[in-house]
Amino acid sequence: MARRAMSLIPHWSSRILSVELDGAPFYFSTREKHLGEEAPRVFREAQSDARLYSLLVCSGDKIRQAKLHGQLKDELLRELPPECHLSPMSSFVPNVRDSLLKGYFLKDHSESSSPTERLLRDLSRHDPVLVCSYLKREDLWTQHPWSGADSLTSDMAKDYYVVPSDAPECHPSTLNIINSDVFYSFEEAYEVLNKCGDIIPEAMSVLELLPSGVVARSKPDFPVIVIEGLDATGKTTLTESLRDALGASLLRSPPQCLSPMRACFDREPPLIRRAFYALGNYITAEQIGQEGMKTPVIVDRFWHSTAAYAIATAVSGQVCNLPAEGSEVYRWPSDLLQPSLVVVLTLDPEERKRRLSNRGQGETEEEKALDHNQLFRLKVETAYQRISGPTFVTVDASPSADQVLQQVLLLIRAKCHL
């Protein structure tokens, strides 16, 4: 039996499993005895000819686990018969931080089970992958954990009944957000990229650009104003106008020095990608500290964007699934410079889309998601508003650029005493 899977056995009965269907999680658990419950929805809706399996990546190393999770998906999509369908899946212990394991739920509609089971049998021999198959007996479904070696412990050798489970108090992804999707210290983000040096050469290039040491510091002599908002809300126009009106320095996050590495890290799993963007904020903070001793500083995006996009991506389903306001997930990193004021530009979705089309520019994958998924846009905006720390003001960006500029200048003069 895989060593990591062995370590999970004592908690197996207390774990809940979640399968993503149409972007929302559906929960079930396992039990040694059946008490007459109806089968969970994900099983009730399975077609009669479907064979069902689950795969969970169980490595104790966060970076290896993140890389293997992505590689596993690539391998399954490449090797499985076309009649197979994959859904994201996870396993977790409710309210236990860092207990979330990610994987995939597989429905196989192919004529023969041999190709799929041959692939899964091979995967189950790999240390960090736990494979389970599911069998229907009359109206009951059972789960059978596999082992690459034909020796299961007594606890795992038996089948378990699959039963419905209530939704947990908190969305399971929130258990692993801290220092996996959102980073709250320089050291935590640095450690991820430092461990990636052997497998991602660009990681060392990023580390060479970092300030020699980052500690919590007092604000610079001059105010620091961050402008946030989705693309096409007018950030570029506003930030450049503010620079000219205030005689300020203009900085952007992520900083220009990271541009050559962005494409590489955008292809990496969330853990590594988010650590890269987190460190970009610390590079920008160092630049702010230097410029803020001479002039006011305007910053085009900062930690709000890094955190809000990460939280909205990690937490599936409705806005109500986001961590509640006041959650530690929204806290500002204690060692990251806080701006004097954060202005978030908002815009009607249709007007924003019209402005984007007028640009004639291609959209990033995240922007495409925003345009086609109103729910994701709402989650990003909600996460923006819940972040604690610096003074935060929302400004309607639909008036003319000059009107928006004058409104923001009034805010700056009132709150930053310029």
pLDDT in tens, 100-152: 999 999 999 988 888 999 999 888 876 688 899 999 988 899 999 886 543 33
Task: Compute CA distances 239 → 55, 61, 63, whole Å.
Answer: 47, 41, 37
CA dist 19 and 172 (Å) reads: 11
Fold of the 219-257+283-416 domain: Rossmann fold (3.40.50)
Give the helix/strand (H/E) hosting 102. Answer: strand 101-108
**Assigned token pair, 175:** 């258990």
C-alpha distances in Å from residue 400, one per residue of 45, 229, 249: 52, 16, 24
- Amino acid sitting at position 89: M
Predicted local distance difference test score (pLDDT) of residue 252 = 94
Q: What percent of the chain has pLDDT over 90?
A: 64
Gap between the Cα atoms of 72 and 75, Å rounded: 5
Please determine, for residue 59, whether its predicted confidence score (pLDDT) is greater than 90.
no
Both structure tokens of 87: 């859904």
Say which residue, 150 or 411, is predicted with more confidence: 411
Q: What is the pTM of this model?
A: 0.88
Alpha-carbon distance of 277 to 253, in angstroms, equals 9
* pLDDT category of residue 159 using cuts at 50, 70 and 90: confident
Q: How confident is the model at residue 154 (pLDDT cuts 50, 70, 90)?
A: very low
Contact 43, 162 (CB under 8 A): yes
Q: Can you tell me the mean pLDDT for 1-17?
A: 62
pLDDT at 363: 53
**pLDDT tens-place string over residues 240-263:** 999 999 999 999 999 999 999 999
Whole-number Å distance between alpha carbons of 265 and 275 = 9
Task: Decide the pairing of beta strands 341-346 and 224-229.
Answer: parallel
Q: Which residue is it, tokens 């059972």?
A: 142
- Backbone φ and ψ of 62, nearest 5°: -60, -40
What is the per-residue pLDDT for 32?
87
Q: pLDDT band for position 370 (50/70/90)?
A: low
Question: Does the pLDDT at position 21 exceed 90?
Answer: no
CA distance 65 to 8: 15
pLDDT for 111 equals 87
Distances (CA, A) of 44 to 14, 22, 105: 23, 16, 15
Nearest to 240 by CA among 181, 194, 200, 299: 299
Which phi and psi (to 5°) does residue 145 adopt? -70, 140
Residue 187, number of CB atoms within 10 A of its CB:
12
- pLDDT of the residue at 151: 36
For the ranges 42-51, 306-315, 321-330, 371-380, the lowest mean pLDDT is seen at 371-380
| CA–CA distance, 274 with 335 (Å, rounded to integer) | 17
Q: Where are the alpha helices (DSSP H) in 171-294?
A: 186-195, 201-209, 235-246, 259-266, 270-291
**What residue spans define the domains of the chain?**
3-175, 219-257+283-416
pLDDT value, residue 219: 74
pLDDT at 22: 81
Question: Whole-angstrom Cα distance, residue 105 to residue 112?
Answer: 18
Higher pLDDT, 6 or 21: 21
CB 16 within 8 A of CB 92: yes
Higher per-residue confidence, 9 vs 314? 314
Q: What is the mean pLDDT of residues 49-63?
A: 89
Interacting residues of 244 by C-beta distance below 8 A, sequence separation 6+: none
pLDDT value at residue 417: 79
User: In angstroms, rounded to a whole number, what is the distance separating the alpha carbons of residues 418 and 412?
Assistant: 7
Token pair belonging to 298: 């305007």
Give the range among 114-128, 219-233, 347-361 with minimum mean pLDDT: 347-361
Q: Given 3-state DSSP classes, what are the helix, strand and coil percentages for the chain, each rounded to the nearest 5?
A: 45, 20, 35
pLDDT level of residue 74 (50, 70, 90 thresholds): very high
Mean pLDDT of the chain: 87
Share of the chain above pLDDT 70, in %: 88
Helices vs. strands in the chain: H and E counts, helices first: 15, 13
Distance (Å) of CA 89 to CA 92, 104, 257: 10, 5, 37
